[in-house]
Amino acid sequence: MGSIALVFGYGRRVKYSVNVLVGAIEQELGDTVNVFVTPLRTVPELLVNLVEEYGRGRVIYGQTLITPELPKVINDVIKAVIAARKVGAIPVAGGPHATGDPYGTLLSLGFEYVFMGDSEESFTRFLKEIIEGGDPKSVRPGLAYIEEEEFVITGKGRVRDLDRFPAFALKHRLFNPIEITRGCPHACKYCQVSYAFGVMYRHRSVDNIIHNIELMVSNGIRDLRFITPNALGYGAQSNVRDLSKVAELLRRLQKFRAGGSRVFFGAFPSEVRPEFVDKEATLLLKKSVDNRRVIVGAQSGSNRMLEELHRGHTVEDVTNAVVHLRKAGFDVDVDYIFGLPKETEDDVRETLKHITELIKLGARVHAHVFLPLPGTPYSFENPGRVRGGLRKELFKLLGKGAMYGQWEAQERLAASVARLRDLGVIIITRKRAQELISRFGGISVPLAPKILRHIKW
Ligand code: SF4
């Protein structure tokens, strides 16, 4: 028995997941784990100091991995993993990227353990095993590791009841928007949410959300935001709309508004699905929220593509959503993805036509470019590229202020992700992993530096 140290590589894009895990550790393990959150670059030095203090095998380096950030951080991640292995700390990874690419995360990046799916339960049980000198490999489901040159993948962890864990880390004062729903029934082919976190909506209860908000407000947080794949789907059991829980939640949030807080719902960091928007929903939002802007997910203006993507709504649903939201006085941003796999010239034409209609209705377009994300049916597709005529049209829309977004940077990012994939650094199948092991002469992880030597960054 005794305490251990845990170092999280921290940053803007991973902080929400880390905060929730720190909250789970506070609740389950109290002071037996000393948690440090620090920028990724400072991890190696901190690990050296902590291993001196706590001893080998008593310090864990935890890294949440998200694919869109990986090309930027991969060198620092590998440095931290190598440092951890050298001094006797245990490098572990989780998050959507690690869940979608456990082989690459173990083999190329060199992590000793990967936590797949939800990790509040599996990770806290893993830490408990280490504290008590037990067997961390006994934790399942949710854990993946390499044993005797074989991959052991125990499936994805699932937290059935979101209320069981806090929404943030109160003791460490690491606050974030409250995750009110996890998982998504739609399984869109380009998106990791359903593949990593399941196809059932799991909702935090209204009572629990209110309790968490009371804690945030008493700690000086005024702006109340929510994380969910579909704000108007809160409380629904599947993809069938049921506004009763949304109405109850929004009603109970009003006392915080009366006390000076602001409620943002259906806006960053969440959005709404178009077929959930109608007159009743927009009137409800209008009287209950402080955001003037609502974000609607559309992704394509071609019904053929919407079907191919598995979106589960039509182009007409998007138009109706914009009409209703504009009538209620909201500004509207509509998300589109350009450069999608299987998209034809006709699909692109239809999308541009649809976008033009929406702009006339007063909407603004938020442009994204397709990224081949691990764990999704499109993980082996070509990276998104915005070609010739479409590129010209997008620049025109940008010039008019009718469109915004980091789509050019995303195009470069998509190409980098695909390059890492094609080189065998990420998005690896079991077969590919075995090939890499034989090519590079067995498992001496991480393999990535050997592979990356062939790349000019
Ligand atoms: S509806 Fe949204 S969260 Fe759900 S799978 Fe599709 S893109 Fe992902």
Distance from the alpha carbon of residue 225 to the mean position of ligand 1, in angstroms: 19
Please say whether the beta carbons of 370 and 383 come within 8 A: yes
Rounded Cα distance between 248 and 3, Å, is: 43
Q: Is the CB of 424 under 6 A from ligand 1?
A: no
Distance from the alpha carbon of residue 101 to the mean position of ligand 1, in angstroms: 19
Domain boundaries for CATH 3.20.20.70 within the chain: 175-420
How many other C-beta atoms can be found within 10 angstroms of the C-beta atom of residue 399? 9
Q: Is the CB of 96 under 6 A from ligand 1?
A: no
Record the tokens describing residue 93, joined without a space: 């990874």
Q: Return the pLDDT at 240.
A: 82
Q: Is the CB of 199 under 6 A from ligand 1?
A: no
Q: Return the pLDDT at 264.
A: 98
Rounded Cα distance between 118 and 107, Å, is: 21
Q: Is the CB of 11 under 6 A from ligand 1?
A: no
Q: Return the pLDDT at 241.
A: 85
Q: Is the CB of 184 under 6 A from ligand 1?
A: yes
Distance from the alpha carbon of residue 325 to the mean position of ligand 1, in angstroms: 21
In the 8-state DSSP scheme, what is residue 215? H
Q: Does domain 175-420 have CATH number 3.30.365.10?
A: no
Taking only the tens place, the pLDDT of each residue in 106-124 is 988 999 999 999 999 999 9
Distance from the alpha carbon of residue 188 to the mean position of ligand 1, in angstroms: 6
User: Which of 380, 270, 390, 293 has the alpha carbon at shortest distance from 337?
Assistant: 390
Q: Is the CB of 250 under 6 A from ligand 1?
A: no
Cis peptide before 141, with omega less than 30 degrees from 0? yes
Distance from the alpha carbon of residue 232 to the mean position of ligand 1, in angstroms: 13
Nearest-atom index, ligand 1, CA of 194: 5
Domain boundaries for CATH 3.40.50.280 within the chain: 4-157+439-451
Task: Give, for all 457 residues of the chain, the pLDDT tens digit.
Answer: 469 999 999 999 999 999 999 999 999 999 999 999 999 999 999 999 999 999 999 999 999 999 999 999 999 999 999 999 999 999 999 999 999 999 999 988 999 999 999 999 999 999 999 999 999 999 999 999 988 878 899 999 999 999 999 999 999 999 999 999 999 999 999 999 999 999 999 999 999 999 999 999 999 999 999 999 999 999 998 778 889 999 999 999 999 999 999 999 999 999 999 999 999 999 999 999 999 999 999 999 999 999 999 999 999 999 999 999 999 999 999 999 999 999 999 999 999 999 999 999 999 999 999 999 999 999 999 999 998 889 999 999 999 999 999 999 999 999 999 999 988 888 888 888 877 777 776 666 677 776 666 544 3
Task: Name the burial class of residue 160, with classes exposed (0-12), middle (13-18) and buried (19+) by CB atoms within 10 angstroms of its CB.
Answer: exposed
Nearest-atom index, ligand 1, CA of 299: 7
Q: Is the CB of 186 under 6 A from ligand 1?
A: yes
Distance from the alpha carbon of residue 312 to the mean position of ligand 1, in angstroms: 10
Cis peptide before 229, with omega less than 30 degrees from 0? no
CATH code assigned to 4-157+439-451? 3.40.50.280
Distance from the alpha carbon of residue 184 to the mean position of ligand 1, in angstroms: 6
Distance from the alpha carbon of residue 97 to the mean position of ligand 1, in angstroms: 16
Q: Is the CB of 188 under 6 A from ligand 1?
A: yes
Q: How far is CA 272 from the centre of its chain?
A: 17
Q: Return the pLDDT at 90.
A: 97
- Taking CA atoms only, the protein residue closest to ligand 1 atom 8 is 191
Nearest-atom index, ligand 1, CA of 273: 1
Q: Return the pLDDT at 150.
A: 84
- Taking CA atoms only, the protein residue closest to ligand 1 atom 1 is 186
CA–CA distance from 173 to each of 24, 168, 312 (Å)? 13, 8, 39
Q: Is the CB of 215 under 6 A from ligand 1?
A: no
Distance from the alpha carbon of residue 178 to the mean position of ligand 1, in angstroms: 18
Q: For the chain, give the percent of residues with pLDDT over 90.
A: 88
